[in-house]
Structure 1
């Protein structure tokens, strides 16, 4: 009988302890959520802010999602110096865009689907920004320098947005720019095709005035979401 009472008492004590720990956990998570809400960075989603602060509290060093929703390895830096030629035939470097935000996309003018779709998204995002778009330059970097001459790009970018800048260069220059942004691309030849295609990654990069990537957007990200992230970064400077 005493053993039974002891067992019941032990179960009740354990249940009380579990309830107490659950309550404490709820209070702690609620506090972190409030902290995340009040201390969000410009352009940062509430979920990203919560994850960042939870990692700080728990001492985790794992990767956190960027403002564009893509998870990057901790410490990875995207962007950097490049030397290319614009669609007017003028040499440009990253310094040509110093002090400006960029919406940057790597692709090629002969692309049958993804490139025109994503450039259309960028154009719509620029229109969504209204007057704030004056501080942003949309940029299209070709990964097909063999066919994408400045003249070819001039015609191509004019179809999407008046502010869109097309960039090309030598194969070596293009490869160096692609490495800086961790862009994958490769020529694809098939027997059933009269012209080759370029297989390539299809992210849109939001680049800050310092030349570093602030946000990374997956293909088919709504232009409204991109515009919202850009506004947040513009407020933060």
Structure 2
């Protein structure tokens, strides 16, 4: 799995550097206060996007904390970015509980969740990965009562045109992300 994530990361970086163009971002999901949303709900804004789930013990809290901290470190430029955390566990996450979860890390954070089909589409659009397992073996919806979630752990920056601007690997940290984003914003 780590090798596959590494290869995906390299591919995304190659896509980002102009060798091959990534398709613009599209999604249709749900947010606690706004209801149904798409990538067009935040015109003129950059989107900083991470994926995960609310019961994740380690990777997801770090990802959301890094996203919120990056926005804060950007100062005025941070107001031009909408930070979004998308659930890959729609069986357990609701718009309300993902909203509470992300707001713990930062008041500007938005949590989005969709159906199994919507989740699959947005993660595919991001070129991310996710899935479910039980006792080390893959399981598929309808899911058993107990299962584990796995997913890629990249943070994606999309421009106002919804084209991919940059991809940050897990552990990049808010200092490096803020510096890179600041340099790339017009």
Q: Which category of TM-score, normalised to the shorter sequence, fits these structures?
A: 0.7 to 0.9
Name the Cα RMSD after superposition: 2.1
2:164 aligned with 1:213: yes
Question: 2:87: which partner in 1?
Answer: 142
Structure whose residues are more often helix by fraction: 1
Question: 2:45: which partner in 1?
Answer: 100
Secondary structure, counterpart of 2:123 in structure 1: helix
Distance 1:83 1:165 in 2: 14
Assess if the C-alpha contact under 8 Å between 1:108 and 1:115 holds in 2: yes
Question: 2:147: which partner in 1?
Answer: 196
Distance 1:124 1:79 in 2: 26
Assess if the C-alpha contact under 8 Å between 2:48 and 2:81 holds in 1: yes
Distance 1:79 1:153 in 2: 25
Distance 1:78 1:126 in 2: 25
Distance 2:34 2:135 in 1: 32
Assess if the C-alpha contact under 8 Å between 2:14 and 2:20 holds in 1: no
Distance 1:197 1:84 in 2: 22
State how many pairs are aligned: 167
Distance 1:116 1:190 in 2: 24
Question: 1:70: which partner in 2?
Answer: 13
Gapped regions of structure 2 (runs ≥ 5): 1-9, 137-144
Assess if the C-alpha contact under 8 Å between 1:140 and 1:164 holds in 2: yes
1:1-237 to structure 2, matched below 5 A, reads 70-72=13-15, 74-88=19-33, 90-190=35-135, 195-234=146-185, 236=186
- Quote the offset at 1:129 in angstroms: 0.8
Question: 1:61: which partner in 2?
Answer: none
- Quote the offset at 1:93 in angstroms: 0.5
Assess if the C-alpha contact under 8 Å between 2:28 and 2:38 holds in 1: yes
For normalisation by structure 2, the TM-score amounts to 0.83
- Quote the offset at 1:87 in angstroms: 2.7
Gapped regions of structure 1 (runs ≥ 5): 1-64
For normalisation by structure 1, the TM-score amounts to 0.66
Q: 1:220 to 1:110 in 2, by over 3 A?
A: same
Assess if the C-alpha contact under 8 Å between 1:142 and 1:167 holds in 2: yes
Higher relative contact order (CA 8 A, sep 6+): 2
Structure whose residues are more often strand by fraction: 2
